[in-house]
Amino acid sequence: MLLLSAVMAGMGWAEGMAQESFKPAWSNVPGCEYPQVSEGMSVRVRLKAPEATKVEVAGGDGFCKEPLALTKDTEGYWSGVVTQVTPGFHYYWFLVDGVQVNDPSSVTYWGYGHPTSGVYAPTPGEDFYACKQVPHGQVREHWYFSEVTGKWRRAYVYTPAGYDTDTQTKYPILYLLHGAGENERGWSLQGRMNFILDNLIAEGKAVPMIVVMDNGQAVAKGDSTQPDMSREGLTKRTETLEQVYLKDILPTFESYYRVKPGRENRAIAGLSMGGFQTFQIGLNHTELFSYYGAFSAALIGGVMDNPSTAFNGAFADAAKFNREVKLFWFGVGSEEKMFVDMVTDARKKLSDLGIRTSYYQSENTYHEWHTWSRCLHEFAPLLFK
Amino acid sequence: MLLLSAVMAGMGWAEGMAQESFKPAWSNVPGCEYPQVSEGMSVRVRLKAPEATKVEVAGGDGFCKEPLALTKDTEGYWSGVVTQVTPGFHYYWFLVDGVQVNDPSSVTYWGYGHPTSGVYAPTPGEDFYACKQVPHGQVREHWYFSEVTGKWRRAYVYTPAGYDTDTQTKYPILYLLHGAGENERGWSLQGRMNFILDNLIAEGKAVPMIVVMDNGQAVAKGDSTQPDMSREGLTKRTETLEQVYLKDILPTFESYYRVKPGRENRAIAGLSMGGFQTFQIGLNHTELFSYYGAFSAALIGGVMDNPSTAFNGAFADAAKFNREVKLFWFGVGSEEKMFVDMVTDARKKLSDLGIRTSYYQSENTYHEWHTWSRCLHEFAPLLFK
């Protein structure tokens, strides 16, 4: 009887899984039934590949880091269920006989340096990034010529609702940087920054602001375009990007748009590599920026080895720093241990110097976009107040 | 001796092929070496798939309509050369053991209803769509609520250079429609409409104008979202889109942007399905539009069976039509025979009624984006003059 109960319980569980309500992800190609997402945070994927001998699915850390083998039905469809998916947006892909390919049923996003499939696994009640019945800002594709790189560059610029109707109001400005492997469209596409800000502004929680999202790669005019991944190479590229910000981006965008003058109206924030660049560009120029956001910042390359002398001595006088820097904010996902450790170490060193920082931890998320969307949602209300 | 010459000539030709200068396409993912394009209009593709048993490449009509089998080298790379590629942009994809997949080395574009790889094969001297050293307009992502569909919709809007700096000037407006399988971003991404207009305006060849690019699909509030591909279903959808234009799009965009009033400042044009919709929406409302562009228009479903009574009798009074409609323009690619025939037939019928039309033929292009980019380049200078 005990055994029977156990078997029935087991069956019940199996049936429960089978009957779990799966719905097509809202991020799918219109009309496509897969991937499907359940309320229990499982994702069912499917691919037609009758002639393939092996098909797997894999993706971001919070989705399916280790490839999961799919099973084939009689019609040639390979399918499987990824369980215990963490909240929010995840990159994913198939491995068809070993070749990494995107899902034709998914919109592709720029991730890991290539177009990559993505799926949203929403958590009940968490809708801060949804397109709601509120006034919407715009995201503009803005081409500008960079004297530093000698090339035309594409930035995306968010202008808040009302920007075009009231042509006198000036706005503070946030420079928002993406990560390695992403590009300048990441924040507005998978990061949903425009909807996050639209909602915060409509609720009166954030000040209307302009947001500039540029590309995080820059090669100085005449330099080799071949990536040099040595420490010197990375340092040089960051220095070039710093020059692009100083000589091209700030002058271009702050004269083109109606931007309030002065460092008290200027913020900089970035994720992962963009967090590193926020340090390098922003902290080297505390005369320019008052608000700093480091989302899962990649504080690598010894950048925090000697904080008392780093960044042109920004931290040397803690009282001055705390007075002038309105916000020095760190955000990180609870499950991205390496970054939690890096940030904890950096904040400890800063605290030892008397530097004041803020900290936010996104629960149950990894080094993925949902961490960063949540970071922006927490960070933006603190700006320009 | 004759034989030897022939053999040598043959060798020379083969060597010429081998030595033909291939360069990475500028549309590649940054840093990726393939696909490569030659001046002789060949494209070499490559994919690493050591475990696959068969890899092919295929693509748009002017690229590689019939799948081409690739050959595998000892390192597991499959490669091949597509020859006699026609000018401009082409969609393409791989078939890996029968599964259609995109090229991880290519940016993806929305084509055939899914993310699809693409490559540009430029022709010497044809640079009307290049990003040049001229003032650039912007392309804005504009979300608006549609009362007809009961949903938020995304449009892309081109505002010409100077729109933000001189806040008094008003502009004429062009509604530019995409084809079936494309979406609202197609014209500004693969169609490069912003660069085409930037260049034309900078050269003084086109009048500065605002361009609205909306999605060509619309389902009325309460209707099934399942595609009904019957003639009745298609008719209903086009009627819904017509209502979206009348009740949502025109009022929304012409009040939001600084648009010159009146039908003499309003144009409508579209490609393929968007050409059909240009007829259905535009010709049903000659009181609203003065300029019409039909690019490779899909004049299907008997739309031109009874022209004298069609479109609310728009063609019934030819003298009136010719007086009021400033431009009724058809463009088509020389190699898309079915569309050449459809357009020829339509223009014959119109001519028989005394209706004046204009015609442009893009040489050596198929039912692909280069036909439509060239069409826009020819059409835009004729507007609002």
> Same domain for B302 and B361?
yes
> Same domain for B28 and B147?
no
Query: Tell me: the pLDDT tens digits for A233-281?
Result: 777 888 999 999 999 999 999 999 999 999 999 999 999 999 999 999 9
Residue B229's pLDDT is 67
> Same domain for B161 and B31?
no
Residues of A with Cβ-Cβ distance to B114 under 8 angstroms:
29, 104-105
Task: Name which of A96, A131, A142 is nearest B101 (Cβ-Cβ).
Answer: A96
Is B164 in CB contact (< 8 Å) with chain A?
yes
Is B53 in CB contact (< 8 Å) with chain A?
yes
Residue B25's alpha-carbon distances to A223, B37, B126, in angstroms, are 21, 6, 16
- For residue B101, give how far its alpha carbon lies from the nearest alpha carbon of chain A (Å): 6
Task: Decide: B253 and B176 in contact? Cβ < 8 Å.
Answer: no
Residue B49 domain-assigned (yes or no): yes
> Same domain for A318 and A278?
yes
Please list the rounded mean pLDDT of every run of 10 residues in chain A (385 residues): 39 48 92 94 97 96 96 98 96 95 95 95 94 98 97 98 95 97 96 98 98 95 76 82 98 98 98 96 97 96 91 96 98 98 97 98 98 98 97
Residue B30's pLDDT is 87
Residue B233's pLDDT is 76
Question: In chain A, which among 246-305 make CB contacts under 8 A with chain B?
Answer: 256-257
A108–B115 CB contact, under 8 Å: yes
Query: Tell me: the pLDDT tens digits for A98-127?
Result: 999 999 999 999 999 999 999 999 998 999
Angstrom distance (rounded) from CA B85 to CA B40:
9
Question: B146: buried, middle or exposed (CB in 10 Å: 19+, 13-18, 0-12)?
Answer: buried
- For residue B3, give how far its alpha carbon lies from the nearest alpha carbon of chain A (Å): 46
> Same domain for B227 and B372?
yes
B51–A142 CB contact, under 8 Å: no
SS3 assignment for B317-354: CHHHHHHHCCEEEEEEECCCHHHHHHHHHHHHHHHHHC
Query: Tell me: the pLDDT tens digits for A296-327?
Result: 999 988 889 999 999 999 999 999 999 999 99
Residues of A with Cβ-Cβ distance to B139 under 8 angstroms:
140-141
Q: Are strands A291-295 and A266-271 parallel, antiparallel or unpaired?
A: parallel
Residues of A with Cβ-Cβ distance to B131 under 8 angstroms:
143, 152
Task: Decide: B332 and B370 in contact? Cβ < 8 Å.
Answer: no
Task: Decide: B370 and B89 in contact? Cβ < 8 Å.
Answer: yes
Is A188 in CB contact (< 8 Å) with chain B?
yes
**Tokens 């639209």 label which residue?**
A198
Residue B8 domain-assigned (yes or no): no
> Same domain for B94 and B205?
no
Q: Is A75 helix (H, G, I), strand (E, B) or coil?
A: coil
Domain boundary among B121, B154, B181: B121
> Same domain for B87 and B143?
no
Angstrom distance (rounded) from CA B304 to CA B289:
19
Task: Decide: B187 and B176 in contact? Cβ < 8 Å.
Answer: yes
Is A343 in CB contact (< 8 Å) with chain B?
no
> Same domain for B157 and B43?
no
Ramachandran category for residue A224: left, alpha or beta (phi over 0 → left; psi -120 to 50 → alpha): beta
B99–A167 CB contact, under 8 Å: no
> Same domain for A143 and A113?
no
Residues of A with Cβ-Cβ distance to B140 under 8 angstroms:
138-141
**What are the backbone dihedrals phi and psi of residue B234, each rounded to the nearest 5 degrees, phi first?**
-65, -40
Is B167 in CB contact (< 8 Å) with chain A?
yes
Residues of B with Cβ-Cβ distance to A256 under 8 angstroms:
164-165
**What are the backbone dihedrals phi and psi of residue B11, each rounded to the nearest 5 degrees, phi first?**
-60, -45
Task: Decide: A159 and A140 in contact? Cβ < 8 Å.
Answer: yes
B104–A96 CB contact, under 8 Å: no
> Same domain for B188 and B326?
yes
> Same domain for B105 and B151?
no
In the structure encoding, which two tokens stand for residue A273, read together? 């590599």
Instruction: State how far Cα B165 lies from the chain centre.
Output: 30
Residues of A with Cβ-Cβ distance to B48 under 8 angstroms:
99
**Tokens 């050591």 label which residue?**
B50
Is A174 in CB contact (< 8 Å) with chain B?
no
B97–A257 CB contact, under 8 Å: no
Strand partners, A88: A121
Q: Are strands B266-271 and B291-295 parallel, antiparallel or unpaired?
A: parallel
Among residues A259, A324, A267, which one has the least CA distance to residue A292? A267
A113–B227 CB contact, under 8 Å: no
Residue A19's pLDDT is 62
User: A104 to chain B: nearest residue by CA?
Assistant: B114
DSSP string computed for B144-159: EEETTTTEEEEEEEEE
Instruction: State how far Cα A261 lies from the chain centre.
Output: 28
DSSP string computed for B82-150: E-SPPSEEEEEEEEETTEEE--TTB-EEEETTEEEEEEEEPPTT--TTS--SS---EEEEEEEEETTTT
In the structure encoding, which two tokens stand for residue B368, read together? 């692909």
Residue B3 domain-assigned (yes or no): no
Residue A37's alpha-carbon distances to A89, A128, A379, B373, in angstroms, are 12, 19, 29, 39
Domain boundary among B58, B90, B121: B121
Residue A4 domain-assigned (yes or no): no
B188–A141 CB contact, under 8 Å: yes
Count structural domains, chain B.
2
Angstrom distance (rounded) from CA A357 to CA B209:
49
Residues of A with Cβ-Cβ distance to B96 under 8 angstroms:
52, 96-97, 99, 101
Task: Name which of A98, A114, A164 is nearest B29 (Cβ-Cβ).
Answer: A114
B98–A138 CB contact, under 8 Å: no
Residue A13's pLDDT is 38
Residues of B with Cβ-Cβ distance to A146 under 8 angstroms:
none
A142–B143 CB contact, under 8 Å: no
Strand partners, A81: A44
**Tokens 């947006």 label which residue?**
A89
Residue B19 domain-assigned (yes or no): yes
CATH number for A267: 3.40.50.1820
Residue from A48, A56, A114 to probe the interface with B (highest B Cβ count within 10 Å): A114
Query: Tell me: the pLDDT tens digits for B111-146?
Result: 999 999 999 999 989 999 999 999 999 999 999 999
Angstrom distance (rounded) from CA A212 to CA A142:
10
Residue A283 domain-assigned (yes or no): yes
Specify the pTM.
Answer: 0.94
Residue A127 domain-assigned (yes or no): no
Domain with B88, as residue range(s), is 13-121
> Same domain for A48 and A163?
no
Q: In which residue ranges of chain B is pLDDT below 70?
A: 1-19, 226-227, 229
Residue B177 domain-assigned (yes or no): yes
Cα dihedral sign, A123-A128-A132-A138: negative
Is B45 in CB contact (< 8 Å) with chain A?
no
Q: Prior bond to A24 cis, omega within 30?
A: no
Domain boundary among B121, B151, B175: B121
CATH number for B116: 2.60.40.10
